[in-house]
Amino acid sequence: MNLLVTGAAGFIGSAYVRGLLAGGTADITVLDKLTYAGSLTNLPVGHPRLEFVQGDICDAPLVDKLTAGADQIVHFAAESHVDRSIDGAGTFVRTNVLGTQTLLDAALRHGVGPFVHVSTDEVYGSIETGSWPEEHPLAPNSPYSASKASSDLIALAYHRTHGLDVRVTRCSNNYGPHQFPEKVVPLFVTNLLDGERVPLYGDGRNVRDWLHVEDHCHGIDLVRTNGRPGEVYNIGGGTELSNRELTGLLLDACGAGWDRVEHVTDRKGHDLRYSVDWSKARTELGYRPRHDFATGLADTVAWYRDHRDWWEPLKRGVRR
């Protein structure tokens, strides 16, 4: 089988590809533009079942060529940092919306499926209590989440209109090795390891559910292999923490105190709480998170401590 994976030089996509190469038999083609968040150091370049192609998912001729040789598609490629989308939404709309539509058109032309579209819990907006089921109306609040919600709807429309085998996943916040150091966990860890301060938005009450990247990838592959066409599957981690609670855990893990925390002005439109109901994936697909959060976080901190050669070059120009 030939699998086309977009955006797989990034954090989550590369973890997915590494897992498949370690435990599967598929031949994998990675299409990645290698923007600031993508790096070939995340991939086992030279593996006999891996082909890497540098390119843009908005490049219709290139996408068509690669899709013609694919049996299935797993689509990770996206602009994903909320703060960057607040500063300028154009790139997010182009990549996340038009890029997804370009891939869907090519998949339809060549009869490729399943087409797994990887999305985010942020499309639901913010929830005070309880957890979102997959049927909950979408109410995104940032330009990033709005662009992802748009791409979700376009992908599902290709299933309903054309019968394309589209399957959508929506995950909670990921953590783990190889995450670009503008995201909160690697940003805080690398700043603390360097003796710097860490920025905590507002009062730190914002709550997120935390999901180890390998558990997320496991869930995605269950959707690819056993999911139903036209369905959405939430993938959660089962560990809800406020940003203040997460900060405390990271300070402890790095041997630092609260004097290293700088309270900064809250993000515009900052969603208070995310929480997905992933009972559908559990019931239909047998999905369960495999990583205990305490152990997973400790292992993640240790990875960044041991891999300065990976993240130090990336810290230049990153928001702090």
**What is the distance between the alpha carbons of residues 209 and 229, in angstroms, rounded to a whole number?**
26
pLDDT in tens, 266-316: 666 677 899 999 999 999 999 999 999 999 999 999 999 999 999 999 887
Shared-domain flag, residues 82 and 219: yes
pLDDT at 146: 92
Cβ within 8 Å of residue 10, ≥6 positions away:
32, 37, 38, 42, 76, 77, 180
Active site residue 83: no
pLDDT at 71: 98
CA 10 to chain CA centroid, Å, is 9
320 found inside a domain: no
Give how many domains the chain has, as a whole number. Answer: 2
Shared-domain flag, residues 190 and 118: no
**What is the distance between the alpha carbons of residues 26 and 90, in angstroms, rounded to a whole number?**
35
Shared-domain flag, residues 163 and 51: yes
pLDDT at 318: 53
Q: Give the up-direction half-sphere exposure of residue 18: CA atoms within 13 A in the CB hemisphere.
A: 16
pLDDT in tens, 105-133: 999 999 998 999 999 999 999 998 999 99
Q: Which domain holds residue 89?
A: 2-174+212-235
Active site residue 56: no
- Is the CA virtual torsion 154, 104, 178, 18 positive or negative? positive
**What is the distance between the alpha carbons of residues 7 and 317, in angstroms, rounded to a whole number?**
21
Does 319 score more than 70 pLDDT?
Answer: no
Cβ within 8 Å of residue 281, ≥6 positions away:
219, 222, 223, 233, 234, 235, 287
**Side chain identity at residue 184, one-letter code:** V
Confidence of residue 89 (pLDDT cuts 50, 70, 90): confident
Collapse the DSSP code of 175 into the 3-class scheme (helix H, G, I; strand E, B; otherwise coil) and give the result.
Answer: strand
Preceding amide of 199 cis, omega within 30 = no
pLDDT at 23: 86
Mean pLDDT of 82-98: 81
Q: Per the residue annotation, which of 144, 233, 287, 304 is the catalytic one?
A: 144
Collapse the DSSP code of 179 into the 3-class scheme (helix H, G, I; strand E, B; otherwise coil) and give the result.
Answer: coil
32 found inside a domain: yes
**Side chain identity at residue 122, one-letter code:** E
Collapse the DSSP code of 311 into the 3-class scheme (helix H, G, I; strand E, B; otherwise coil) and give the result.
Answer: helix
pLDDT at 320: 43
Confidence of residue 81 (pLDDT cuts 50, 70, 90): low
Does 9 score more than 80 pLDDT?
Answer: yes
pLDDT at 266: 67
Write the DSSP assignment of 262-279 as a string of letters: EEEPPPTT---B--B--H
Identify whether the C-beta of residue 28 lies closer than 8 Å to the C-beta of residue 50. yes
pLDDT at 92: 83
**Side chain identity at residue 193, one-letter code:** L
Name which of 22, 9, 17, 13 is nearest 53 in CA terms: 9
Name which of 67, 81, 32 is nearest 187 in CA terms: 81
**What is the distance between the alpha carbons of residues 84 and 157, in angstroms, rounded to a whole number?**
28
Collapse the DSSP code of 167 into the 3-class scheme (helix H, G, I; strand E, B; otherwise coil) and give the result.
Answer: strand
139 found inside a domain: yes
In the chain, pLDDT over 90 holds for what percent of residues?
82
Q: Tell which phi-psi region holds residue 230, choosing left (phi > 0), alpha (psi between -120 and 50) or beta.
A: left
pLDDT in tens, 154-212: 999 999 999 999 999 999 999 999 999 989 999 999 999 999 999 998 889 899 999 99
What is the H or E stretch that residue 232 is in? strand 232-235
Q: Per the residue annotation, which of 16, 32, 79, 121 is the catalytic one?
A: 121
Q: Give the up-direction half-sphere exposure of residue 210: CA atoms within 13 A in the CB hemisphere.
A: 24
Active site residue 121: yes
Shared-domain flag, residues 72 and 197: no
Shared-domain flag, residues 61 and 140: yes
Q: Per the residue annotation, which of 122, 152, 209, 271 is the catalytic one?
A: 122
264 found inside a domain: yes
Identify whether the C-beta of residue 231 lies closer than 8 Å to the C-beta of residue 167. yes
279 found inside a domain: no
Shared-domain flag, residues 7 and 143: yes
Does 317 score more than 60 pLDDT?
Answer: no
Mean pLDDT of 34-43: 91
Shared-domain flag, residues 48 and 60: yes
Identify which has the larger pLDDT, 100 or 85. 100
CATH code assigned at 204: 3.90.25.10
Shared-domain flag, residues 111 and 250: no
147-170 residues labelled b (16+ CB within 10 A) or e (exposed): bbbbbbebbbebbeeeebbbbbbb
CA 47 to chain CA centroid, Å, is 24
**Side chain identity at residue 93, one-letter code:** V
Shared-domain flag, residues 22 and 78: yes
